Amino acid sequence: MKTKFMIPLYCMVLAVLAPSLHAEDRVLLDFNMQTLPPADWAVEGYAFGTHNPTPAERQKQALGTRNQRYVQKGRMTSPEFTIESDYLKVDCAGTYHPTEVAVVLMVDGKELRSCSPEPGYGFLGAKLPSPRMFIAPDPVNYFFDVRTLRGKQAVLEVRDQHYDGLFFDVKITATDQGPDNGQAVITQAVNWIEDHFETKIKGDYLLVPVGPLAGTPLQRVTVEIEGEQKLSVHLPLAFGEIKTAGYQAVYDLTHYQGRPLKVTYHRFAESGPAKLLMQRDIPGRDVSDTMPAFHVHNRIGMLNDPNGLVYYNDEWHLFHQFAYNLSHTDWKHYVSKDLMHWEERSIALFHDEQGCMFSGSAVVDVMNTSGWGSKNEPPLVLAYTSSSGNAGWKENDQIQTQGLAYSTDGGRNFIKYEGNPVLGHEQHIIKNRPKDSDTRDPKIFWFSPTKGRDANAKDGHWVMVLFERTGHNIYTSPDLKAWTKTGAIKGFHECPELFPLAVDGDPENVKWIMYGARSHYHIGTFDGKRFKPETKKQIAMYYGDKCYASQTFNNTEKGPDGQPRRIQTMWQGGRFGQISLPVELTLKTTPLGRRVCMLPAKEIKNLYQRTEILDGFVLEPNQANPLEKMKGGLYDIELEVDLSQAAQLILNIRGKRLIVDVSKDGLTLRREMKIPGTKKLVLRVVVDNTSQDVFFGEHGLFYSPRMAKPSEDKSLGIEVKGGSVTFSKLRIHQLKSIW
């Protein structure tokens, strides 16, 4: 019995004592976001903090902020040491790039071992819950096999030469213990070589394959046409055996047919090339019943706020915030002939060394004040925020400046103004900027003291409304390039808007509306320099938890009230994310007072494929569903009904109930949406696979409930409780998909 139990005990003792049989582990580097570079390591640049700053250097502290490390380059180099262990264990977290964000072991000046923190930081799903919540990923561990290098003198270099990258943590330990889980060891340095794709242009779009959301190197891709560089941008390029997650249209080639194209990038020496494409069309998208059928949404990546809404050359242009990698935000681009059917184009604005492309607007420079076009062919100009660094970490040192880009080829490609930024030159990289230092989202338009927002008025000037700190500031300019501050108003948050609306359609009674991202607005006056509110409190434009960052189109045709049509879209979040259906805004006198009212733009009729008209229909309590035959799932529902004899009207829309309650003083939808003084209901509901938009168009109320997931139920029903009702209008339009 003793012998039987002594054997396992003996093995256990050996297992406990085994580590002590090796030489003691020695930590060569233990560096993270909160520590200083080691005193005996040489530090260059700003990515890791400077250890012995000189007066000529911008950064004056050894411990750099996250912003400095994110947007600056640098390296740390160890003192020379003798290799006395079998392995160097490297634990690191950061951006994945094989050579630009890497730990490198060098002997006699030669790179012999290297690694980078794959799967890396910055990709959707890589421990980053949202763009505003940055959580450092867990370190990945590697083992350099240095048994053949024992006794040699070596140095270690921690290299950050990536403008869009950084290291969170790097720990290097000399040890005699290799990996114990079958993990491969590193016996060489990465062989990263330049590659080229060259051909004659025979398609409208250059399409670049992007890799999975983790594990694809974030590298620079350069596009040249006839030897002229058109684009140079960091992308998670899929090459060789890296799986292609999707294709991004990165440049519009429409006007370059037959000319030589050259795309330059890097790959591993042992891998195959990237499979770039040139095509007449951009790849299609999922058209299943689980995706939006007539809303703009992404094929791949993350969609956010609408930007740059403008009518130009008989086309509606819609841009929106786009991110495939959370280190970057770009502007994606769509165009439409009818405001309903949208065609995807190549990405219009890519991130650059001034930062990510945050929100902004677009104008047609009809008078060619900028000099970028001509009076016969005015340029299309985008105004945007460049945001450098990341907020949401321990330091709030995000730097935001305002830039311009212009197009002279009909809005297909954009050139960034070489004098950028036009606002924010005084900003520089500093530590611990205050939380209220954000400056972003320029909304620009042409203003005339005699003709208001008329873009053709010769006596006008440019206006920019800009979110700064705790409200909106107003600037003016003669040429879009030089700006002077003229006014300010507190109480708004980001994504500013300012536009005129005629009260009840009266062209002689025009008021101005100012709002921010949450679309709570003031009604007031504007003289071209200052906005003066006439409402004591801001008024909610819509309700629900899906809507944000609405913006209206510039350069639209005049409506019957003499003002430019005010067409608005917004970001609708939730599980999928989409740009809302375009709606038209008016200013009306309602039982609630003066209110901005919205209804679907009249162009929605271009989606109608079948209409059921039940005007005059009488609905009794407990009656069979008169809409039972409606099974399409995509609807535009219009109804007008007197509910004075009823207690409730209930719409059953794809398994969700929309209940309007009748009380002594009026009508109620949810607690916060009340219509006093009337029992006549004027309702409009637009239904897509992923959304339901509810319009009380005559009362300035809009509601968009969140849908957890698309419903397989496509049915439509209506019922009444308490008493019969007669519909003066009941029309159901079945809609078609635009994709």
- Is 604-735 in the same CATH topology as 302-600? no
Helices assigned H by DSSP within 31-117: 66-71
- For the CA atoms of 365, 367, 368, 374, what is the dihedral angle to 10 degrees? 110
Ranking 65-69, 625-629, 631-635 by mean pLDDT, the lowest is: 65-69
For the segment 204-246, what is each residue's pLDDT rounded down to a tens digit?
999 999 998 778 888 999 999 999 999 999 999 999 999 999 9
Note the pLDDT of residue 430.
Answer: 44
The dihedral of CA 106, 186, 161, 127: what is its sign? negative
* Proportion of the chain above pLDDT 70, given as a percent: 87
At residue 327 the predicted structure's pLDDT band, cuts being 50, 70 and 90, is: low
Please say if the pLDDT value at position 71 is more than 90.
no
Assign 120 a pLDDT band (cuts: 50, 70, 90): low
C-alpha distances in angstroms, 117 versus 28, 138, 188, 192, 248?
Answer: 18, 10, 16, 16, 25
**pLDDT averaged over the chain?**
88
DSSP string, 307-355: EEEEEETTEEEEEEEEESBTT--EEEEEEESSSSSEEEEEEEE--BTTB
pLDDT band at 616 (very low <50, low <70, confident <90, very high): very high
Domain boundaries defined on the chain:
24-175, 192-279, 302-600, 604-735
Q: How many CA atoms lie within 13 A of 167 on its CB side?
A: 36
- pLDDT > 90 in the chain, percent: 70
Q: What is the CA radius of gyration of the chain?
A: 30
**Mean pLDDT along residues 36-47:** 85
CATH of 604-735, one of 2.40.37.10, 2.60.120.560, 1.20.1070.10, 2.60.15.10: 2.60.120.560
- Is residue 123 very low, low, confident or very high in pLDDT (cuts 50, 70, 90)? very low
Evaluate whether the domain defined by 302-600 bears CATH number 1.10.3720.10: no
How confident is the model over 496-501, as a mean pLDDT? Answer: 98
- Check if the beta carbon of residue 251 is closer than 8 Å to that of residue 224: no
Here the contacts of 566-572 (C-beta below 8 Å, separation 24 or greater) are 566/499, 566/501, 567/309, 567/339, 567/601, 568/598, 569/306, 569/309, 569/318, 570/306, 570/519, 570/542, 571/303, 571/304, 571/305, 571/306, 571/320, 571/321, 571/547, 572/295, 572/546, 572/547, 572/691, 572/704
Amino acid (one-letter) located at 253: L
In this model, does residue 433 exceed pLDDT 70?
no
Cis peptide before 306 (omega within 30 of 0): no
pLDDT (mean) for 93-106: 93
- Count the Cβ atoms, other than its own, within 10 Å of residue 254: 16
Q: Count CB atoms within 10 A of the CB of residue 635.
A: 22
CA atoms within 13 A on the CB side of 701: 23
Q: What is the pLDDT of residues 266-322, one digit of tens each?
A: 999 999 999 999 999 998 888 889 899 999 999 988 899 999 999 999 999 999 999
Asked if 83 and 147 touch (Cβ cutoff 8 Å), the reply is no
Measured distance between the N- and C-terminal CA atoms of the chain, rounded to whole angstroms:
77
Q: Which residues of 649-680 are buried (b: 16+ CB within 10 A; e: fewer)?
A: bebbbbeeebebbbeeebbbbbeebbbeebbe
392 has a pLDDT exceeding 60 = no
**Predicted pLDDT at 518:** 87
pLDDT at 2 over 50: no
> Which pTM was predicted?
0.90
Task: Please say whether the structural domain 24-175 has been given the CATH code 2.60.120.
Answer: yes
